[in-house]
Amino acid sequence: MQRKSSRSKYCMGELIEREDFSEDLAAFKFKTDQKLPFIPGQYATIGFEVNEKIVQRPYSIVSSPHEDFMEVFVELVPEGATTPLFWELKLGDSVYIRDRLVGKFVMDVDSGMTRHVMAGTVTGAAPYISIARTLKIEQEQGKANPHEILTIVGASRSWELGYYMDELNELAAQEEWFSFVPTVSRPWEDEKWEGESGRAEDVIRKYGDELGYDHTNSVVYACGHPQMIENSKAIWARARFPEERIKEEKFFVIKE
């Protein structure tokens, strides 16, 4: 994916905050030198200069368009071309950010459905956090919100979600329109964890049914690990969700 690109397609993002949740999961906040409009759920293409070329990858945006920074939640792929460069970043360092923020994985407001089940694996929570933050901010600005959201996020261990765990739990406690189910797939490595256990796809049906999110009223979304997405799509198809109301954003492909 390395290629020489015109620098004029990029703006610069200065790292203003970084929080490491574990040795391979961290949140990064950048201050961009241009305002970049986007719809919650879209992604930024972030690049690093390597041997005079820009190596770039897409990252779903965690922050809301109403916030004055761009936040991403990144998992380190130790043998990867880009993520080890994120891990070298110190406050004040800059990255390249493509000046067009794009993507189709946004809340479906055209289907007529007002309920949304949003399932993700760890960093796959990013677009959902952006959507939820935006609805909350717009509600505070006086905008009516007809939507209800059930967000289910799977991680191996609870601390991998870092401060997003508290943010989403707090939002769920405050807002009737938002429900949050974090689930841990390695509870034996997370002894204090008292919440749900299993992978995200293991519990999407249970909570969807319990809270009344079904094929007659909802759009469903899966984001992150490709295997979770395939498993979730099959479960939702069996629950009679039509294909056009099953949305997906795969972060990578599994090599055979």
Answer for which of 9, 12, 15, 58 binds ligand FAD (CB under 6 A) is 58
Q: What residues numbered 208-237 form the site for ligand FAD, per CB under 6 A?
A: none
Q: Does 125 bind ligand FAD (CB under 6 A)?
A: no
The nearest distance, CB 42 to ligand FAD, in angstroms, is: 9
The nearest distance, CB 57 to ligand FAD, in angstroms, is: 4
Answer for which of 81, 113, 167, 244 binds ligand FAD (CB under 6 A) is 81
Cβ atoms of residues 203 and 196 within 8 Å: yes
Q: Does 253 bind ligand FAD (CB under 6 A)?
A: yes
Q: What residues numbered 159-198 form the site for ligand FAD, per CB under 6 A?
A: none
- Cα-flanking dihedrals φ and ψ of residue 109, to 5°? -110, 5
Pairing of strands 148-155, 43-50: unpaired
Q: In 10 A of CB 157, how many CB atoms?
A: 16
Q: Does 60 bind ligand FAD (CB under 6 A)?
A: yes
Q: Which stretch binds ligand FAD (CB under 6 A): 78-86, 164-172, 174-182, 228-236?
A: 78-86
118 or 208: CB nearest ligand FAD = 118
Q: One-letter amino acid identity for 195?
A: G
Residue with tokens 């690093």: 48
43 or 177: CB nearest ligand FAD = 43
Helices 200-211 and 226-238 meet at what angle, rounded to 10? 40
Between CA 198 and CA 206, with CA 203 as vertex, the angle to 5 degrees is 145
**CA–CA separation, 95 and 206 (whole Å):** 41
Q: Does 63 bind ligand FAD (CB under 6 A)?
A: no
Q: Does 249 bind ligand FAD (CB under 6 A)?
A: yes
Q: Does 130 bind ligand FAD (CB under 6 A)?
A: no
**CA–CA separation, 25 and 129 (whole Å):** 16
Distances (CA, A) of 91 to 15, 75, 80, 94: 5, 19, 22, 9
Interface residue list for ligand FAD (CB under 6 A): 43, 57-60, 72-75, 77, 79-83, 103, 123, 126, 249, 251-253, 255
